[in-house]
Amino acid sequence: MTPAREFIRAGALGTNMKKTHPHPLFIMLTFLLLPVLSLHTIFAQTAAGLQTQSTLLPAWTSDGVDNGVDYGISVASAGDINGDGYADIVIGAQKYLVDGQRCGSAFVYLGGPGGLPDSAHSQLTNADPGTYFGNAVSGAGDVNGDGYDDILIGASHYHLNSGYEGAVYLYTGSAEGISDQPVWTMVGPMGDAQFGYAVSSAGDVNGDGYDDILIGARNYSLQSSNEGAAFLYLGSPSGPQNTAIWQVTGAQTSALLGHALAGLGDINHDGYADFVVSAPNFDQGELDTGLVMVFLGSKTGPSLSPTWSVTGIQVDERLGSAVASAGDVDGNGYTDLIVGARGYDSGTIVDAGAAYLFYNTAGSFSPTAAWMTFSDQTYSGFGIAVAGFGDVNNDGYADVGVGAHRYSDDQPEEGFVFVYRGSSAGAEKTPYWSASGNKAETQFGYAISAAGDVNADERDDLLIGAPIYKRDEKTVMGRAYSFYGIAAGDVIQHTVFLPAIQNNP
């Protein structure tokens, strides 16, 4: 067990380096939207020198229509649902109105030659109000091996008997698109577990040809109250199995294990997919330092003990607020790991927030973070979301992003997203570009994700959610954005003014 490490500070978002010491870990693992959107001034040095100013619109936006629906609370690539060669996406709206009730919905948009369409291909929903259906969304991979990608929807407040057990739904892809009804539903094992707070494809963990799924239940309580748990379900020709083949719990009161989790691909090139799980409120020496653990796949499934783990170094740092595969940032052939810590303090800047990159060398993550960045504002939410964006500028290196949903510039708490390019030396120390909602309290960047290549231009695209985006002061509807990938060396200093166009689901 190793603590996350700080780096060298460079400007508003930079780095800082100091020597730290590892802490021992004792943990029991058991089965079981006419507003402005600004892309702010960020220069990139290329062979031609510094670039000049240009304008870039988000390629696609979509709004939640009704008040208070939290449209964009979750965003994700759905893979290629209909097998047409274009990546598709899914957007969650956990309080979306269905027949006048806040049942929640998820909206599926299919990619095509022109990119994403104005209207959703499908609206998936739950008939029960108050379940937060769509609080988490994810591509599931191809769980049943039919050649079409599937999606997962979490409903963390689904209530059956004891209340807020939570539930997760799997919808399958086909040549016609996504299924209208879930083919698999799993309800949480106990009241208040919030099963489905986080969902993700795990990849093919056991090498049987079917993708497997991960589910987090951050308030699960077995041995300790709100210790949290993560569950792994194997794929099969008929879909996910009905019994988890692997379960791990936090074994510490209010650790919130399962708050965030993600598939990592095959990090050690052994033919089995691996994954990461976090417990941001885990205590290691101090309160709520946070814990991140990596588990390796095998023919018989993952071990109950992590092969790599790291803890935060500050009180209330909450390392593991978000976790994601970073892709291969330094081009060495191995997938890297990005981790958010929204509670990190930068000197006297309380809750500045931070993100860490752990590089993968020959199948094992570095014991300490080789790259770190943090914000210059208190309570900015920096690190609430992190993502590997794929190779956005097509230079051969994976790029990463960090969301800061309460970061302020022209408007208070408008929210920002910062994107950092990969290189042979790893991630750059300053952002390639940054984007903001430029309307007060939109929570722009609360959710971010790679979109895949939605227009098949061989450049990876990205998704951003702003669930508290306002049409006016009385209508808080939420918005989702997609920016399409740009070529290496293209102009990257941007100011964006959105036209008065509203795309509805």
Condensed to tens digits (0 to 9), the pLDDT of residues 149-202 reads 999 999 999 998 888 999 999 999 999 999 999 999 999 999 999 999 999 999
CB 387, CB 404: distance < 8 Å? no
Cα–Cα distance between 278 and 339 in angstroms, integer?
A: 9
pLDDT score recorded for residue 57: 66
In which element (H, E) is residue 246 found?
A: strand 246-249
Cβ-contact 162, 96 below 8 angstroms: no
Task: Judge contact between 340 and 332, C-beta under 8 A.
Answer: no
At residue 161, the pLDDT reads 85
Sequence-ordered list of residues with C-beta below 8 angstroms from that of 126, at least 6 positions apart, any chain: 98, 103, 104, 133, 155, 158, 169
The 10 Å CB-count burial string (b at 16+, else e) for 77-97 is bbbbbbeeebbbbbbbbbbbb
Show the domains of the chain with their CATH numbers: 2-494 (2.130.10.130)
CA-nearest of 73, 14, 11 to 373 is 14
Tell me the three-class secondary structure of 198-240, residue by residue: EEEEEECCCCCCCCEEEEEECCCCCCCCCCEEEEEECCCCCCC
Helix intervals (H) in 67-220: none
| Closest residue by Cα to residue 292 from 319, 274, 266, 267 | 319
CA angle 87/92/94 to nearest 5° reads 170
The mean pLDDT value for 106-123 works out to 97
If you average pLDDT over residues 232-251, what whole number do you get?
A: 97
Question: In terms of pLDDT, which residue wins out, 495 or 492?
Answer: 492
Average pLDDT of the segment spanning 303-329? 98
Query: Which tops the pLDDT comparison, 197 or 473?
Result: 197
Instruction: Report whether pLDDT(35) > 90.
Output: no
Q: What is the pLDDT of residue 115?
A: 95
- How high is the pLDDT of residue 204? 99
Is the confidence at residue 244, as pLDDT, over 60? yes
- Mean pLDDT of all residues in 44-59: 40
Mean pLDDT of 338-357: 98
* pLDDT score of 21 more than 50: no
Question: How crowded is the C-beta side of 428, counted as CA atoms within 13 Å?
Answer: 18
Q: What pLDDT sits at residue 162?
A: 80
Instruction: Return the pLDDT at 127.
Output: 84
Write down the pLDDT at residue 6.
30
- Give dist(CA 29, CA 224) in Å, integer: 12
Mean pLDDT, the chain, as a whole number? 87
The token duo for 16 is: 């800082």
pLDDT score at 320: 99
Percent of the chain with pLDDT over 90: 79
Per-residue pLDDT, averaged over 41-50, amounts to 27
**Mean pLDDT confidence for 311-326:** 98
pLDDT given for residue 350 in this prediction: 98
The residue to which tokens 């870039």 are assigned: 56
Phi first, then psi: what are they for 261, rounded to 5°? -160, 160
For the four alpha carbons of 331, 332, 336 and 341, in that order, the dihedral sign comes to negative
Inform me whether the pLDDT recorded for 377 exceeds 50.
yes
pLDDT higher than threshold 70 for residue 248:
yes
Report whether pLDDT(119) > 90.
Answer: yes
When pLDDT is cut at 50, 70 and 90, the band that residue 471 belongs to is confident
Mean pLDDT lowest among 226-230, 301-305, 482-486: 482-486
Tell me the sheet residues that pair with 166. Answer: 195
So what's the pLDDT on residue 486? 66
- What pLDDT, in 10s, does the model give residues 384-434? 999 999 998 889 999 999 999 999 998 999 999 999 999 999 999 999 888
Say if residue 488's pLDDT is above 80.
no
Query: Is 43's pLDDT higher than 50?
Result: no
Q: Is the pLDDT of residue 55 over 70?
A: no
Residue of 476 and 7 predicted with greater confidence? 476
CA separation for the pair 313, 26 (Å, rounded): 16
Confidence (pLDDT) at 189: 95
Q: What is the pLDDT of residue 393?
A: 86
In the predicted model, is pLDDT for residue 25 greater than 60?
no
